[in-house]
Structure 1
């Protein structure tokens, strides 16, 4: 039975070996033929190009010197000397200089290639040479190659056959070894009595396998112990990673992520957020190392003060901590707890060297089901704004929450508007009160909403100032306004806040745009919120620098709320824009008329032009005109538009 199996396996191995051998032979044959053909063709093409490359310099010189006959003679000589070249055409300056073609080109295997002829010592093209090259000796080479290859492959086939017969005999001892190894495990013993005494490699394998089993048993035992150690290490690392994920590394307290997970598992809860006031000053004064130590000490004192898991203490990050109660507390209970906590925190003393430090905190609390962490944060902001120790989230605070959500939504809209290029300038005319014609325009920012409606800056500008998009908006307005009026006779004014002119990036972009669009003699820099100027020296330097470029300066909303006339009027300004609140009721309010008259008179004595805003009707226009105001702006003339005439009264 075993003998029959062995013969069957041998026949199968022999059959497989024969099929594989024949397949390999055929594969090698046809692969070599295909690859060889391409290789021969490539070689012949390279040889042909080398031949032509040797004559191109001479042909180039002959053509350049006008010796076309010399070039023709050289072409004829090459054609006669090389039997594989079937034809050559020479073109100089798009004219055929010579064409030679052998008569026996038909039924030939050939290819055509082109070479460019350039002027001597130059890359300038002066002509081309087209060459027809023969493959006629390729078939002879291929026939020889096929005979050699077939003889070689026949030898390989014979060797493979003999090797397959030998392999069949060689494999038979291995069958017995494989059978023994098939069911092997470290708990079983291996014995090969039929082969262990042989002096060949099979005997060596049998002896090695028998001696190896002892080492395998030892290794298996060692591996089993190692697996147990690895499992313990994995559990340890898992615990460590979980701690890193949920535990604050500085204080050892649960972190914000853990708080959020715990909140998600509680149907009702109460939370208190504790923020250390002015902790940045401690870091700045004593350094971050001491600041971290105080945070750790504060965490320990809070934990000792609470000494329970309800509430549980968390560190949210930075100088902010939280207490989570696993139940919804009443407002009175929260207030009672916060009063007690405040007193205990005020008693805490932190020692640094010979100094004793105390901390002041602000706290926000909320209770309920959903969103209480956000509500507690709103209450914390409310406490800080009111300069109180703590605040508890009330139903009235929902308005604040909605406003907060609205602000977040508008920040998203700002980002989207910038990305989709929906931030655009609108232009309102500034009219000469004598000619009643526009002398220029004020550039006003607008956003085109998703539904195509135009959004005024009153809706989003204050929100933008609190976000990182404010500078982007200013930069877009500068760029687009300068570009729009680059080919215009009109002047145009751009609103800049004190924060803008103190920002080196904005100033750099402003200068770059003025230079790029060449609008230095048209642009007016209109300074808004000028009552907030604190560093007049920096502002004066900015004004002086921009006026040296050619810009003009205007002060917006002049006339109310100023306690700094003296400083303002020392600045090198060209225009004063009178505050709209004075203009709106100038016809009914004598005080407004007196103030405007005084401003106009004083400005004219200083050589400063005046502009009235909010001119909404003819009566107001005639009034400010009679007072000597130079320019007017308002709905009486036109509302802001996205596109305006670019020719002005200059």
Structure 2
């Protein structure tokens, strides 16, 4: 899938964006609009404008109390997202709730989701729809599989406009708009950060009138609330900012029993003189507890989300965030989304959220709901540096203490003293929990970062559970976590017998990875001796209670910056090596840090969004005619500032984070577009990643069908990754040969070519590995290899191409061996397509510098 997101300015800029992003106006996109500035009339006009530009698109939208675009917050902008699903299906609808019961609306929504076979459904409600709680309850009764996200549309704060929704036809009164999305290829991610914790005993709502609370446990609601919170006189406020700054009630949400942590926020309605819920109502006899909200709890939940989100494919991450989080939680949205900076997160601030908690859809107050979708294996990797210095994150601990002390000085009731005491215990517990994993008792990564400031760790051993996924799939998550706790206990007990002075401290990074760190007080020899003992004991951990063996892989990092990052990168770089013990010392090659990887991801993301995947072309010289015989297409990334990047800069990261397929598709489309009608021939590189992609195969066949001269295209088969199914490769090559396409084997002689399989492909060209060519004038061994390959080529009637011909001495050897084609900087540098036409590159040789790296 592909999502184009932007802040709408006017129709002129919209048309420019359509051209820039190469949007096809005939495609049935899903378009979602969230506006924090448009009046109802302006929103209707915007919807009609977009519908006119994209007549096949389906549109839903709503007002918002702010939007998030590309990680930044705006209180006066309109956010538009154009979702282009390749495999998933979607359908939109609207439902008028005027003169209908909540149960009726809930059943209508459920029937729509069932018909659409929806895995996910965005649901946006207008006009402060107060029956939303009962509506969601009715939906759950009729549909237990579809995840709901969305909520009550936000008020337009600058205009003082009450929330509304709309579709491609215009604004809809007293309505709900919905977009249902489903399909076997669709992956849905949904998590919630609520940060509300109960601190009181259980209470029961005994009297209510719609959203108004009349009594709790038989006590008048206002009197009950004053007694619980020590409030002398409840007050009403006229603006959201006044509520955030002055209303003590809003800091204490009422957490519903048996609703997975969902809560309701209360206010004092001065005009009615009554206690009321914000934008919802719950039935009499609902049980609840008083809770409180703290950024400390929010940090903990954010950390948990960051620890698990990278396990699930996500191509588009969107956030439905409560306005209260921005106003009274010190704008925690500013930092709780910062781990995803660089991924272009978008979102909307609304007045009540809908999300799925533990498999059940709930209506929430004060939550941050994350929803991600993907059709391909694309993963996010959060940047955990946001947790490095917790002191910079605004926390309400001191405010909370001051409030409690003030209430205690006022000699409040025993119930109130109990409530405030429990509140302080909870706050202290959160501070402790934030640093410790509950399943193992080990400190987590946050605690490691804090303690590293004091202890200056310079040695680390990381232990990764290799068969975690297999164990988890057999035993389930709960038993796996119990097993993890037992494994951690065994390791801790063993370490205590070896290190009496506790010079080694253990931590848990995530559910599959533990690590231990030591400082300068422990010598390197002592540390390595300890690690080897640990490896001998725990390469295989026997868990007798459940008859399972845990397989572990060890990596040691010595005297490095960002040791945890180095260990993770070393594990990833060596994931195919058959060894369970790795050492990364100060002389080891430097893997990319997460900061460097994020920089590369940023470059690639911008390139995909701004048409920055560009082919360069290098001429291949026919040594008999001394002219260009054809060109090889080489991928380049051109950033928005004009910087040109070769694959050596970005390719490993692109493959690691599953961006390669997107780059490859853009590259092929551009090359076919440029050469489809020309007389010159061009070769394109084709890797195992491509042959393993049905989408890429289909793209190639579609492009060959459209090409005027498909026989002018050559596919160069790379061996950078193993082909999973050689028979699939054979069938593919057989089919493209029917178009006249020729085949080349790239980097032949690199040391890992499967000779017999490659010869069975009957290639037309054999391109000799550059490492052989570059050393011809210095090494007799390389000259013998070249002589053998040229004989082989003639025996199999293949044309030979020498790559990386960098100087006259190398070219002399190429001519001596009768090799027909030369490619390299000695003759032609890679250049953009326009430069080929302008410079007459097929007639003029260009002298050049260092080795180039092709896709």
- Range class of TM-score, shorter chain: 0.5 to 0.7
Correspondence for 1:428: 618
Correspondence for 1:351: 544
Q: Structure 1: how far apart are the matches of 2:769 and 2:586?
A: 40
CA contact (8 A) 2:787 2:817 kept: no
Correspondence for 1:541: 731
Q: Structure 1: how far apart are the matches of 2:744 and 2:451?
A: 57
Task: Give the total of aligned pairs.
Answer: 424
Q: Structure 2: how far apart are the matches of 1:347 and 1:525?
A: 46
Correspondence for 1:35: none
1:598 corresponds to 2:788: no
Q: Give runs of aligned pairs for residues 444-463 of structure 1, distance below 5 A.
A: 444-448=634-638, 452=642, 454-463=644-653
Q: Structure 2: how far apart are the matches of 1:598 and 1:379?
A: 41
Give how far 1:543 is off. 1.0
Correspondence for 1:573: 763
Unpaired segments of 5 or more residues in structure 1? 1-185, 188-220
Q: Structure 1: how far apart are the matches of 2:563 and 2:767?
A: 48
Q: Structure 1: how far apart are the matches of 2:455 and 2:526?
A: 19
| Cα pair distance change 1:332/1:570, threshold 3 Å | closer
1:503 corresponds to 2:693: yes
| Cα pair distance change 1:633/1:396, threshold 3 Å | closer
Give how far 1:419 is off. 4.3
CA contact (8 A) 1:273 1:377 kept: no
Q: Give runs of aligned pairs for residues 75-154 of structure 1, distance below 5 A.
A: none
When Rg is computed on C-alpha atoms for both structures, the one with the higher figure is 1
Give how far 1:423 is off. 3.4
Correspondence for 2:656: 466
CA contact (8 A) 1:270 1:366 kept: yes
Give how far 1:495 is off. 0.8
Name the Cα RMSD after superposition.
4.7
Give how far 1:224 is off. 2.7
Give how far 1:356 is off. 6.3
Give how far 1:614 is off. 4.2
CA contact (8 A) 1:531 1:561 kept: no
Give the one of 420, 425, 430 matched to 1:231. Answer: 420
Give the one of 275, 279, 291 matched to 2:467. Answer: 279
Q: Structure 2: how far apart are the matches of 1:326 and 1:625?
A: 60
Give how far 1:526 is off. 1.0
| Cα pair distance change 1:414/1:575, threshold 3 Å | same
Q: Structure 2: how far apart are the matches of 1:559 and 1:374?
A: 35
1:484 corresponds to 2:674: yes
Give the one of 439, 446, 451 matched to 1:262. Answer: 451
Correspondence for 1:316: 509
Q: With structure 1 as the length reference, what TM-score do the two structures score?
A: 0.53
| Cα pair distance change 1:429/1:270, threshold 3 Å | closer
Give how far 1:269 is off. 4.5
Give how far 1:243 is off. 5.4
Q: Structure 1: how far apart are the matches of 2:786 and 2:582?
A: 49
CA contact (8 A) 2:633 2:683 kept: yes
Give the one of 836, 839, 849 matched to 1:644. Answer: 836
| Bigger fraction of residues in helix | 1
Give how far 1:638 is off. 2.5
Q: Deviations over 1:440-462 (max 9, x none)?
A: 21111234468756444344434
1:552 corresponds to 2:742: yes
| Cα pair distance change 1:574/1:413, threshold 3 Å | same
Q: Structure 2: how far apart are the matches of 1:620 and 1:376?
A: 41
State the secondary structure of the residue aligned to 1:639.
Answer: coil
Q: Deviations over 1:578-614 (max 9, x none)?
A: 444565677996635642542342233xxx4444434
Correspondence for 1:362: 554
| Cα pair distance change 1:271/1:564, threshold 3 Å | closer
Q: Structure 1: how far apart are the matches of 2:819 and 2:659?
A: 37
Q: Structure 1: how far apart are the matches of 2:806 and 2:431?
A: 67
Q: Structure 2: how far apart are the matches of 1:582 and 1:380?
A: 31
Range with bigger deviation, 621-630 or 575-584: 621-630
| Cα pair distance change 1:243/1:426, threshold 3 Å | same
Give how far 1:415 is off. 3.9
Correspondence for 1:250: 439
Give how far 1:488 is off. 1.5
| Cα pair distance change 1:500/1:237, threshold 3 Å | same
Q: Give runs of aligned pairs for residues 410-425 of structure 1, distance below 5 A.
A: 410-425=600-615
Q: Structure 2: how far apart are the matches of 1:373 and 1:619?
A: 47
| Cα pair distance change 1:484/1:317, threshold 3 Å | same
Give the one of 486, 489, 492 matched to 1:300. Answer: 489
CA contact (8 A) 2:458 2:517 kept: yes
Q: Deviations over 1:124-146 (max 9, x none)?
A: xxxxxxxxxxxxxxxxxxxxxxx
Q: Structure 2: how far apart are the matches of 1:584 and 1:270?
A: 41
| Cα pair distance change 1:360/1:439, threshold 3 Å | closer
| Cα pair distance change 1:272/1:350, threshold 3 Å | same
Q: Structure 1: how far apart are the matches of 2:533 and 2:802?
A: 59
Q: Structure 2: how far apart are the matches of 1:554 and 1:283?
A: 44
Q: With structure 2 as the length reference, what TM-score do the two structures score?
A: 0.42
